[in-house]
Structure 1
Amino acid sequence: MPGRWSTTQKRKRPVANDPPGAMPSIIEPELATLASRPPASGDWSYEIKYDGYRMLIRIEGGSVRLFTRNGHDWTDRMPKLRAAVESVPVENAWLDGEAVVLNASGMPDFNALQNAFDRRSTAKIVIFLFDILWLNGDDVRSEPLRARRQLLHELLDAVHDPLIRYSADFAEDPQSLVASACKMNLEGIIGKRGDAPYRSGRSTNWVKLKCNLRQEFVIAGISRNKGAKSGVRSLLLGVYDARGVLHYAGNVAPSVKASRNDAISKRIEPLKQKRAAFSVAPEPDQDRDYIWLKPELVCEVSFLEWTPSGEIRHAVFYAMREDKPARAVVKEQGAVIPGEEATPDDLRSSRERTGTKGSVFIANIKVTNPARVVDGTSGKTKVEIARYYDDISEWALPYLHNRPLTLVRAPDGINGELFFQKHSERVRIPGVEELPVELHPRHPPLLVANNAESLVGLAQMSVVELHSWNAVAPDLTHPDRVIFDLDPDPSLPWSAMLDAASLTKLVLDEIGLKSFAKTSGGKGFHIVVPLTRKQSWAEVKRFSQALAQHMAKVLPDHFSAVLGPRNRVGKIFIDYLRNSCGASTVAPFSVRARPGLAVSMPIAWDELKDVTAGDQWSMSAAVARQRSLNADPWDDYWRTRQGITVAMQRAIGMRR
């Protein structure tokens, strides 16, 4: 095969449907699909995911052109690299690679690359070449990757310019490669099928496995401090769906040098428009103004996770992107490669392995005594709880992130003595973080669970229940929600519980507060009301008590606002006591330390009539439900912006 595409001879026969000697004036690159896990089988090799600009190179008759992934000619912006490519010994060719600037450690540095373009000092830009699409009159895109890369390797053997480099591939275990890439502060790795042809556009023959969540977003607005005439407080981000509709995806502060912030501001000015380009625009906060923009600018952002409502959390601005068109920016979602769909067991096996002495490793956390029975009624074991928390982490973590925890441990099973824990004490829990002590003075550090490893680590420490505060670090002085726990007289029929939840929603609707429901995992419901963090703990506590008392006064046959079994005979106690500083409520998706190990499950209000019990969902049923849902029952939770107003207080009879 190498002889057919000699680097020094013209081709001897034309490719079908191509006139002799013709070469495309432009080629669209092949793009990788974000994968949720490495492919389970197939002929795959892996390369470093370089942190730079994708660049396709066209060489014809000694003329070199450098194109970005969306077809912009950047040849004149990189004269030194163009001159280096002129030394490649070919008559005509198309090459595919990534342009980067290397730091002192030899690692790609995207900020240095941007600075090089900003300062028009591009002499240090290096191109890592990983594919060849055309060679001396032959279109080689239909050849398998391994054959193309062999041609590329032979071609570059004759090139000795340090600005032109061959992108090596690795055959090791992809999980180990990703781990190594992350330790080296690289973005991740790219997997490619060795037997696949080159196909322009997004393909599952190429997959990307990332260390962190990071992608491009369209900038369709900015926020400024209220009344300010200039400056950028945050960028309002969006992604397009398959229909071309732009959806709001959250915001990010453009944490860049003042000079670059000024440059961003100058690019923003001519893009201002009166209406938002988002399908549903975010509502401005009281302390800032929103300025809408034509959706033309693109930036790259890293972030912790996508919320169930489609927004990103804990976003960090990375860079502006000139090489990617706004209309091509979509939400990147981890895919399972076609033909290799994952079953729950497949997904588990990729994160679980057997250790010595009967232990099991889940998410790299060692689970000892995995077969120990935690609940004698259902026979559920310690490892099943660990697996559950690993499986449910995708949905549970957004409601736990940076929220102080109270843990319920059952080292001898739920029929033994239960222990409550708020601090690390003597044993560090794998994956669990401690908040800075100054956030809660005069107390030991509070605990938070921000990743799947921490949830498995808690299960390893015999934690069954996760209770969380109504506030999120670093602002623990202002609650971001109020919760009403509907606790029924055990003699009441379930229909009374459904009526109570509906009536609570009705009262909240009438005073102007949006609410969300979840089963408690025990006997009743929790009604959750998200708040903007403006009221103090004392104000929220007084409001929750006043609302409970108002409902007990208006509907005395249904509700009681007084604690104690004697006060709720034939009624439902509206427990408002969970709204004090330091108090906590069982978290969404938490297991309950009760026979059956049921789960606290978020539901949509229109599902209420179909709920048959507060402990309806088991661990396995909870995971199956989440995987089957087409829409998040709490879809609007993260977009809800509301506070407790004077009018609301008056409506329930509060005295100021």
Structure 2
Amino acid sequence: MSAAEMLEIPGPDGQTRTVRLSSPDKVMWPAGEHGPAITKRDLADYVIAVGDRLVGDALADRPVTLQRFRDGIEGGEFYSKNPPKGAPGWARTTMCTYPSGRSHPQLVVDETATAVWCVQMSTITWHPWPVRTGDNDDPDEVRIDLDPQPGRGFADVVEAARGLREVMTGIGLTPFVKTSGNRGVHVYARIAPTHEFLDVRHGVIGIARELERRMPDLVTTAWWKEERGERIFVDYNQANRDRTIASAWSPRPLPGAPVSTPVAWDELDGLDPSTLTLRSVPERAASSDPWAGMDEAVGDVAAAVALWDEDVSERGLGELNFPPDHPKMPGEPPRVQPSKKVAAHWDEDGNRVED
């Protein structure tokens, strides 16, 4: 490995931050059909190039979980929720409460230099919470992940995203879109932080069910994969506390170093997301800002929650499954695959009845 390098990075108020980058030639993405190897220094250079966008659009003033790969994408990964040891003095933290009721601090990435320090800690992808540090319990974003199941391509996801845009604008939200860095897209909308996580999750379910009614052959809210078929899953569970999506401008740990990239709605048709990579995206970040105006386009999530309420009162629809690591919730369906469910073993609240 080559010797450590000291990187000088502009900070606030004319300050200069110094970040030590050890083993800069460590391979993070191996060479292959997508091109030459991408090193730790390449990743740091990318973060410096897009830092204003990465921090400003996605990370600043939010708790952030770090997805880390000490041996590159072909090695093991782990998620850092506690701030890694040795965080620079200018980096701050914020206290978060998790579904278990436990609380501890998480890192806040307010500067490009902090993001570069995360690269030093072998971070490839940043996962910010949908809250601001002044209120870590009430989301200020709706985030919806459109996840295509086998048999569906990116054009199908684009069709679903356009339908989702119509649903969201119809209830007063202003949606913005980005590629996931894989096969799907993520749709975001700023909201006033007036409702806690469970309410926002219910609002997302209300939006998802309305989209499902409009596009029943294309999209689904089915939690169990065996029930989804060849449809696009609207992943409502990304709205839960402590569930996060790869940030805008984050590279993904996949061959070719794809980046989860903000795009304009009129770019989606014919877009090849595989061309949006760590090597190509800096030029885009410097020349366009598809999410301009996002911070000013703050909607009210109450209209989405009203969709949920209408489904409950008028259609008899109720709670959907939570992630397996989440505490069992009132009214939640049984946490068992439908094909393996024996009705007599579960009560009406989804709790197992022992023989």
TM-score by length of 2: 0.78
Q: Distance in 2 between matches of 1:461 and 1:539?
A: 35
TM-superposition CA deviations, 1:224-251 (whole Å, max 9, x none) = xxxxxxxxxxxxxxxxxxxxxxxxxxxx
Q: What SS class does the counterpart of residue 586 from structure 1 fall into?
A: coil
Is 1:455 the counterpart of 2:112 in the alignment?
no
**1:474-493 equivalences in 2 (<5 Å):** 474-493=134-153
Pick one of 473, 477, 480 that aligns with 2:133. Answer: 473
- Once the 2 structures are TM-superposed, how far is the Cα of residue 595 of structure 1 from its aligned partner? 1.1
Aligned to 2:293: 636
Does residue 428 of structure 1 match 2:119? Answer: no
> For residues 652 and 507 of structure 1, do their structure 2 counterparts lie closer, same or farther at Cα, with a shift above 3 Å needed?
farther
Summarize deviations over 1:174-204 as a string: whole Å, max 9, x none. xxxxxxxxxxxxxxxxxxxxxxxxxxxxxxx
2-structure distance, mates of 1:436, 1:488? 34
Q: Determine which structure has greater relative contact order: mean sequence separation of CA pairs < 8 Å that are 6+ residues apart, divided by chain length.
A: 2
Tell me: CA distance 1:437–1:523, structure 2 relative to 1, closer, same or farther (3 Å).
same
Q: Aligned pair 1:551/2:211, yes or no? A: yes
Partner of 1:616: 275
- Partner AA of 1:385 in structure 2: L
CA distance in 1, matches of 2:90, 2:256: 26
Q: Which residue of 1 aligns with 2:335?
A: none
Which consecutive residues of structure 2, in runs of 5 or more, have no partner in the other structure?
Answer: 10-17, 314-355
**Using a 3 Å threshold, how does the CA distance of structure 1 residues 439 and 500 change in structure 2: closer, same or farther?**
closer
Question: Which residue, 364, 368, 377 being the options, matches 2:22?
Answer: 368
1:380: how far off? 0.7
Structure 1 counterpart SS, 2:226: helix
Bigger CA radius of gyration:
1
- The match for 1:35 is none
8 A contact 1:578–1:585 mirrored in 2: yes
SS of aligned partner of 1:444: strand
| Matched residue SS, 2:186 | strand
Provide the secondary structure at the position in 2 that maps to 1:635. coil
What SS class does the counterpart of residue 599 from structure 1 fall into? coil
Preserved contact between residue 203 and residue 308 of structure 2 (Cα < 8 Å): no
Deviations 1:485-537 (A, max 9, x none): 00001321322121111111111122222100011111110000110111121
Distance in 1 of aligned mates of 2:122 and 2:304: 46
In 1: Cα distance, 2:109 partner to 2:239 partner = 21
Taking a change above 3 Å as real, the CA distance of residues 651 and 549 of structure 1, as seen in their structure-2 partners, is closer
Question: How many Å separate the matches in 2 of 1:403 and 1:444?
Answer: 14
- Pairwise mapping of residues 367-446 of structure 1 onto structure 2 (< 5 A)? 367-376=21-30, 377=32, 378=35, 379-398=37-56, 399-425=58-84, 427-430=85-88, 433-437=91-95, 442-446=102-106
- In the alignment, is the contact (CA less than 8 A) between 2:192 and 2:298 conserved in 1? yes
* Counterpart residue type for residue 231 of structure 2: K
Summarize the Cα distance change of 1:655–1:470 in structure 2 as closer, same or farther, 3 Å threshold. Answer: same
Name the one with the larger helix percent: 2
Structure 1 stretches of 5 or more lacking a match?
1-355
TM-score by length of 1: 0.43
Alpha carbons of structure 1 residues 547 and 436: separation in structure 2 relative to 1, 3 Å: closer
Contact kept? 2:96, 2:136, Cα under 8 Å: no
Do the aligned partners of 1:484 and 1:576 also contact (CA within 8 Å) in 2? yes
Q: Do the aligned partners of 1:516 and 1:605 also contact (CA within 8 Å) in 2?
A: yes
Indicate conservation of the 8 Å contact 1:432/1:448, yes or no. no
Contact 2:181-2:258 at 8 Å conserved across structures: yes
In structure 2, C-alpha distance between the alignment counterparts of 1:520 and 1:483, rounded to whole Å:
12
Percentage of pairs with the same residue? 27
Deviation at 1:432, TM superposition (A): 6.9
Report the AA paired with residue 91 of structure 2. Answer: E
Q: CA RMSD in A?
A: 2.2
* Shift in CA distance, 654/627, structure 1 to aligned 2, threshold 3 Å: same
Structure with the largest fraction of strand: 1
In 1, Cα distance between equivalents of 2:72 and 2:236? 30
Q: Deviations over 1:338-377 (max 9, x none)?
A: xxxxxxxxxxxxxxxxxx9622222321111111111113
Local SS of the residue matching 2:258: coil
Q: 1:408 to 1:463 in 2, by over 3 A?
A: same
SS at the partner of 1:539? helix
Looking at structure 2, the residues matched to 510 and 503 of structure 1 have their Cα atoms a distance apart, in angstroms, of 11
Deviations 1:265-319 (A, max 9, x none): xxxxxxxxxxxxxxxxxxxxxxxxxxxxxxxxxxxxxxxxxxxxxxxxxxxxxxx
Give distance in 2, aligned partners of 1:418 and 1:382: 15
Distance 2:263 2:89 in 1: 29
CA distance in 1: counterparts of 2:203 and 2:223, whole angstroms: 17
Deviation at 1:653, TM superposition (A): 3.4
Does 2:3 match 1:358? yes
